[in-house]
Amino acid sequence: MQATKLARLALEDGSVFHGQAFGGSLHDLEGSGEVVFNTAMCGYQEALTDLSYTGQILTMTATEIGNYGVAPEDIESARPCVAGFVVRELSRIASNQRSAHTLSDWLADAGIPAISGIDTRALVRRLRIGGAMRGVISSVSLADASDLELVARARAIPSMAGANLAAKVSPACSGFFEESLGEWAPRGGLFVDAKPSPAGRAAGELFKVVAIDCGAKRNIYRHLVERNCAVEFLPHTATADEIRARKPDGLFISNGPGDPAVVQTVIDTLRAVAGEVPTFGICLGHQLLALALGATTWKLKFGHRGANQPVRNLLTGRVEITSQNHGFCVDETSLRAAGGEPTHIHLNDGTLAGFRHTKKPIFSVQYHPEASPGPHDSAYLFDVFVEMMSTRKPIGAQEMERAQAALAAVVRV
């Protein structure tokens, strides 16, 4: 049996948590970044491979983590991308027929430092009161680095505000994504029996969707492919002319990490093509679309991260439980001045969770309708995007209600 190795998590406010090392921390690897927390009860594997967590140390609030191991089919990017991982208790077993690795071995192979055995309730309370903080995970001994030295390292870490991390995770070149949802496809919604096709074209013909990839989750693309879309992803450096040359039916802007206000390349491109083609944005894509229209963004105190975030659709009155992962928010007043109209509101704090343009075929949401991990309440938004590509008109309440009602009817059954 392997001897227990000690590890520490030091925060910029001077607090230090002592626990046990696992993952990359067993090999004395250190991690540093913004410490954030996720309130989902499960889905740790999808969260760890969500590129939106780049540069962050992720804390799970659920008590036990790792009990179902790691399955290759459930990853959202090529590898774990967090700067570090924090849990209350690491499961001693991985009970799942699909599991190929234990969580600790998988993180060790990826070089991700991790710590268990700390009071995550106390840590999360500190983050909720003081806001997301910079931190360091280290398994070096006290003789090699004191608590004060680790705190000093945490304070030297660059702030997430002003960090253009999308440039680091965006693909280097374009490509096509062809994998559908497969056996995980929802058994309902608007397009359960027949795949839609672009208006005026033969049945079975695909919608051409160009995606500006700033760190997209794979399940987003799977949802588009499932709805008869041919998805070509482009790096964040894609120009307006490169998008126009492909003559797409729709433009998608993906999620991603970092401060949206400094991803100027994408903002400039979106400003140039705004309204030319039906456009849908998720998370960072939502923020970038708002910035391109002339709105502003601001940093939330500790962000929204989890699979239990309540959102109200203002166009239909329905409430959906959503999966979210973001630390920045669009300013509603500036959005309205730029021609945007709020469509979704976060019910915990009243912040903007989605908008549409009143005159252009553009809409976006701050959360993750692909449900990986998370509930399926918001999958209707992909149907709304397909409808908008069919009509090439701004999305309205009727389209929202029809798509949301179709999904809700299946859920009730």
Distance CA 198, CA 411 (A): 27
Q: Is 283 a catalytic residue?
A: yes
**C-alpha to C-alpha distance for 147 and 218, rounded to whole angstroms:** 39
How far is the C-alpha of 283 from the C-alpha of 76, rounded, in Å?
15
Q: Is 370 a catalytic residue?
A: yes
Residues 6+ apart with CB under 8 A from 265: 167, 236, 237
CA separation, residue 110 to residues 24, 69, 87, 188, 397 (Å): 7, 15, 18, 37, 45
User: Both ends of the chain: CA-CA distance in Å?
Assistant: 49
Residue 4 contacts residue 116 (beta carbons within 8 Å): no
CB atoms within 10 A of CB 97: 7
| Degrees, nearest 5: CA angle 222-228-232 | 60
Using the CB atoms, write b or e for 7-22: b if 16+ within 10 Å: bbbbbbbebbbebbbb
Q: Which residues contact 100 (CB under 8 A, 6 or more apart)?
A: 69, 70, 71, 72
Q: Which residue has the tokens 């009155």?
A: 317
**Residue of 353, 362, 279 lying closest to 319 (CA atoms):** 353
Q: Of the residues 368, 376, 387, 399, which is catalytic?
A: 368
DSSP, collapsed to helix, strand or coil, labels residue 349 as coil
Task: List the catalytic residue out of 30, 320, 370, 387.
Answer: 370
Phi/psi at 378 (5° precision):
-105, 10
For the chain, the C-alpha Rg in angstroms (whole number) is 21
The Cα–Cα gap between 67 and 64 comes to 7
Active site residues: 283, 368, 370
